[in-house]
Chains A and B, each alone.
Chain A
Amino acid sequence: MKTKLKIFAVAASLVLGVATLMPTGGVTGELKSLRGEVGIGETDAIPDIHAVKEGADHGRAYRQQPPLIPHKIEKYEIDLKVNQCMYCHDWPNNTKMGAPKISETHYIDRQGNRLDNVAGTRWFCVQCHVPQTDAKPLVDNGFKPATAVR
């Protein structure tokens, strides 16, 4: 009985010793930093800042596409209180500002009532209408505009 215990103790200490001596490199090799193959002390290259394309008509890729915004919109307030896009794009201010009026459909609510002001369902413009930058697509995209497919 005593010898059995001794053998067990020796075996246990061996196993533990080997386990602690094992290099941990195998484990860290599988971990990948979100920054990719960059050393921990190195600084990433600053990514490009893509300026918003201004002044050009972006056109549409298909007929029902919400028109894209040809100007900067940063710091325009769109919240529960105010929608600053409406300062220029709501009728009749758009005539004074020389800006396109929002679509007539945007004055119709879910029940089909015609409203004086933009419908609540259309309030948050940037859900559909966005400005464009020169950024390259992050993934390949096989999309072709409707005009090219026809």
Chain B
Amino acid sequence: MTMHTPEKGEEPRPGLLVRLWRLFARPTARYSLGLLLLVGGAGGVIFWGGFNWAMEMTNREEFCVTCHEMGDNVYAEYRGTVHDSNPSGVRATCPDCHVPKEWTHKMVRKMQASMELYHHLVGSIKTREDFEANRLRLATNVWTAMKHTDSRECRNCHNFQSMDVSQQNFRARDRHLEAAQRGDTCIDCHKGIAHQLPAGAFEAERKLNEKFVQK
């Protein structure tokens, strides 16, 4: 074979994108429509299943604590709190509170998590001191998100309508009734329940509440 050289009258070779588009748009004369549908359908199921499987694999406590940022800091603090060990033995693990259940919200959160991957790779939080230095900012991020969503992830399990306040201790009863009437959201009071609070937490909470009242 000789090298293909454009002769007179022949068009020059089109670019990669154009060739790809032509391949995509060209009708097939070789495969039956049935086969194409079958292969396409099966491929779709495998792709979709695989996608959701991967999504669920990254939505487990075991996965979360493989990173030292989580395993050494927030997870160590979470152990022994009421969401980890309690009379009924029902646990709420990392994704139960930090990843939304609904699909669209979950996708959004997963995309935001790529930023966390980036910071893991560049090593933004190497030591406990790094973590403590950033704790107030990180905690405020989560509190703000929770306020925006009206504590959506808390309410997957806890909601005012199902609370039997008569079984609550007197302090909890008073506070919950007040809060339900005012339309407060869980995170307004329940900060630092699964992780330690940052220094200056109360001041940050006051500022956050003022910001949300202005809106």
> Which of A's residues lie within 8 Å of B, judged by CB?
54-55, 71-72, 75, 77, 79-82, 84, 86-87, 93, 98
Contacts and interface: CB of A to CB of B under 8 A. Distances in A.
B5 interface: no
A81 B196 contact: yes
B82 A82 contact: no
Interface of B: 81-82, 169-171, 174, 192, 196-199, 201-202
B199 A80 contact: yes
B149 to A, nearest CB: 23
Contacts of A86: 202
Contacts of B192: 77, 82, 84
B170 A87 contact: no
A82 B171 contact: no
Contacts of B170: 54-55
B70 to A, nearest CB: 19
Chain B binding surface SS class: loop
Contacts, number: 31
A82 B169 contact: no
B106 to A, nearest CB: 30
Contacts of A84: 192, 197
Contacts of B196: 77, 79, 81-82
The 4 closest A-B pairs by CB, nearest first: A81-B199, A82-B197, A55-B170, A82-B201
A54 B174 CA distance: 14
Contacts of A77: 192, 196-197
B188 to A, nearest CB: 12
Contacts of B202: 82, 86-87, 93
Nearest to B192: A77
Q: Which one of B171, B174, B199, B201 has the highest number of Cβ atoms from chain A below 10 Å of its Cβ?
A: B171
A115 B81 CA distance: 33
Contacts of A75: 81-82
Contacts of B82: 75
Contacts of A80: 199
A93 B206 CA distance: 11
11 contacts: A54-B170, A55-B170, A71-B171, A72-B169, A75-B82, A77-B196, A77-B197, A81-B196, A81-B197, A82-B201, A84-B197
A81 B198 contact: yes
A116 B155 CA distance: 37
B185 to A, nearest CB: 17
A77 B192 CA distance: 9
B213 to A, nearest CB: 14
A138 B196 CA distance: 34
